[in-house]
Structure formats: C-alpha cells, structure tokens
Amino acid sequence: MAPPRLYLDWNATSPLHPAVREAVLRAMDLFGNPNSVHGEGRAVRAAIEGARREVASLVGAEPAHVILTSGATEAANMVLTPEFRMGRTPLAVGHLYYSAVEHPAVREGGRFPKDKTTEIPVTSDGTVDLAALQGLLAGHDASSGLPMVAIMLVNNETGIVQPVREAAEIVKAHRGLLVVDAVQAAGRIEIDINALGADFLILSSHKLGGPKGAGALVSRGEILMPKPLIHGGGQEKGHRSGTENSLAVIGFGTAAAQARSDFSERNGRIAALQARLESGMRAAAPDVVIYGADGPRVSNTTFFTLPGLKAETGQIAFDLEGVALSAGSACSSGKVGESHVLVAMGHDPKLGALRISLGFATSDEDIDRALAAFGKIAGRRRPAGEAA
C-alpha cells in the first residue's frame, strides 16, 4: 500500500485545524440570520461577534475595526480605491504605490485606474527599496489626493519579511495611507496594527487553518474608511453588505484564537523543522539556491531553485513522489509560470523555483520523506552543459 500523500503547500491553503472543524460542526446548528432580532438570530450574531474579537486580538486591533469579508481578495479590492471618507467628508486618494513582489490581488490595483498605479522596486534581497519609496512619494502630486502605499508584511513565495515599520515612517511623513497584506504573516509572526504603523491590514481565514470564504479588512480606526465595494442591506456597519457567512466566520475566529494560543510552541517547532529541511537539502544538493535564507524570513517557507530543474518538471516530479508543493503563488490561475517575485529580485526569470511551506501538522517524519524525495529528484537532474 502506498504511503499517504505528504502536504507541504501550507502557504497556498491550510488544512482545517481540528479545533476549527469542531467549531464549524457545532455552528451548523446555529441556523438563524445574524441580522434578525429573535433568539435564533441573536445566537448567530453572538458567535460572529466572538469570532470578530478573536480576529482583532490576533493583530492587536479593536473588534469594531474588523470588517468581515469573503476573503483577502475582496478585502484588497475594497481598500484599494481612490474614494475614501473621513467621517462624512469625501477624501480623495490620488495614486497607489505597491511593491513589486505583491500578491496579484494587490498588483492588479483594486479600483484604481492603471495609470494611477506605480510599482515600487525591491532590492536584490527581496525587500522593498525604501530609498525608491521615498523618491516616489517625494514626487507625488499632492493636488490629486493622498498617496496610498501597499506593502505586504510577508511575501507568499519567499517568506521574506518586509520592513513595514520603516516604510510606515516614510509614508506618514508624506501624509499617505499604508495598506499591509498580512495574509502570510498572521499566526507566523507577532502583529500589532498600531506598532506596525499600518492604516489597514488584509487577512485570510484559510491560510490560518480556517475555512475558505472568510477574510477581513482591519483598520486602525473608524474615521477614515474606503467607499464600500458591495452595497445592499448595510451589514458590517454599512462597509460590506450581505448576510455574513457565519460558518466560515466562526471557523476564522477559532483559527485566529488557535494561532494565538499555540504561537510560540508551533513556530518554534516549525523553525526547527525548516532548519533540518534546509540543512538536508544543502547536503543532498550543495548547489541548491534558497531565496531569502540570509535575511528575515518566516519559519515555515523555503523557496528554492535546483539548477537544471525546471519549475513545472520539479513540481510534477515531487507530485509523483507523493509530495504536494508549489511553484509559487497558487492563487492566480493554477499554471506554472515565471515568478514575478524572482524577476523583481533581479534573478533570471527562466530559473525554476519551488516552494515548500510547513504548517501546524508537519512532523519530523514529513521532513524525512521530503528530503528523501528531494534527494531522488536532485540526483536525476541533467548534468550542466548536457544537451536537452
């Protein structure tokens, strides 16, 4: 009998945490509409508000500042808009500046016209070029409205941690707004929206061990808010209409609570697994290139190139060995293409890169299996210079 498949693509999506599964199953008995005033509705509303508190606590925010959405992509499209309000007063945002390594949900620019968006370059180590950011904001046309800057906290491909606090100081000096995609950071590094200097954070449930179909836009206050993306019955204080997806939201809250409760133990264990994985990879293939290995990086992500191995070939080879991993972001189309992150870092776009990402259920035995598959695949590579 073949061994069970090995899942090492946690950055794409996490399996449901057992505590989340139990919470969602219990929540199935809460069938009322959370916007109804009867007892059945109030029971669901209480569960949703409990989940909102847990999500807020995960990032040091106030529950009243958490807008529940269908996921991170919706949250990004909601906040990336030229139209804001300061209380009841309209406020224009004139231009969006985003880092070259952002997720496609941000790179697409949300509701900004393409000619009102500009890419911020990154350095060769994959972090946003702060000098370039300073120069772009110094040249911003203030008459068009405020500048908005979008910088992710942790890159989804490399796991590299961005210098968001330093960027926030530059943004604030130019009276700008800072939007931070914290999808890959939540539960993996400590986050406090106020200490970070972000005006808005974007979160996703299914990266944390929660269900798909839930996410959040978290703000630092309630005065400055984007024009709603979805109109209707006025749920979420009018910011996001539509009856809340109570099952997904309750699971999201449980996942957030679990991420906080076992933060130190889980991340310490995963860091040890990552160190053993990368040491074994280097021993089996000394020419392996691990991106971001010399800088600040989350403990669960290993993005690597095996010279002579194409990304699509490597992904298929690992899959045939029973190992599920990724060739980068899995959220755009499912196809394997050039990594815009590697291109932005100045690497040859023809290089094949694969991503191993670990999670709460990854074990020592899993690392043993991953290294066995890695060694086998590395040993089958075509020698350098040999004709294809």
Average pLDDT, the chain: 94
Mean pLDDT of 258-282: 97
Between 195 and 382, name the one with better pLDDT: 195
Q: What pLDDT does 383 receive?
A: 54
**CA separation for the pair 296, 125 (Å, rounded):** 10
- At position 155, the amino acid (one-letter code) is N
Is a pLDDT exceeding 70 seen at residue 37? Answer: yes
**CA separation for the pair 375, 380 (Å, rounded):** 9
* Distance from chain centroid for Cα 169: 22
34, 44 in Cβ contact below 8 A?
A: yes
202: number of CA atoms within 13 Å, CB side?
Answer: 26
**CA separation for the pair 216, 147 (Å, rounded):** 23
User: What DSSP letter does each residue of 119-134 carry, written as one string?
Assistant: EEPB-TTSSB-HHHHH
Q: What pLDDT does 305 receive?
A: 94
**CA separation for the pair 231, 238 (Å, rounded):** 8
User: What DSSP letter does each residue of 50-105 carry, written as one string?
Assistant: HHHHHHHHHTT--GGGEEEESSHHHHHHHHS-SEEEETTEEEEEEEEEEETT--HH
pLDDT grade, residue 351 (50/70/90)? confident
Burial 187-201 (b: 16+ CB within 10 A, else e): bbbebebeebbbbbb
Q: Which of 140-144, 161-165, 384-388 has the lowest mean pLDDT?
A: 384-388
**What is the helix (H) or strand (E) element at residue 20, kind and residue range?**
helix 18-27
95, 144 in Cβ contact below 8 A?
A: yes
Q: Which of 189-203, 298-312, 341-355 has the lowest mean pLDDT?
A: 341-355
Distances (CA, A) of 59 to 91, 102, 239, 383: 26, 20, 20, 48
Q: What pLDDT does 328 receive?
A: 59
**CA separation for the pair 351, 307 (Å, rounded):** 8
Is a pLDDT exceeding 80 seen at residue 1? Answer: no
61, 50 in Cβ contact below 8 A?
A: no
The rounded radius of gyration (Å) of the Cα atoms in the chain is 22
Is a pLDDT exceeding 80 seen at residue 333? Answer: no
Q: What pLDDT does 3 receive?
A: 80
59, 182 in Cβ contact below 8 A?
A: yes
Residue 74's φ and ψ, nearest 5 degrees, are -65, -40
Mean pLDDT of 62-85: 98
User: Catalytic residue numbers?
Assistant: 331
Q: Which of 183, 205, 261, 253 is nearest to 15 (CA)?
A: 205
236: left (phi over 0), alpha (psi -120 to 50) or beta: left
177, 148 in Cβ contact below 8 A?
A: yes
Mean pLDDT of 202-206: 98
Is a pLDDT exceeding 90 seen at residue 209? Answer: yes
Q: What pLDDT does 387 receive?
A: 37
84: left (phi over 0), alpha (psi -120 to 50) or beta: beta
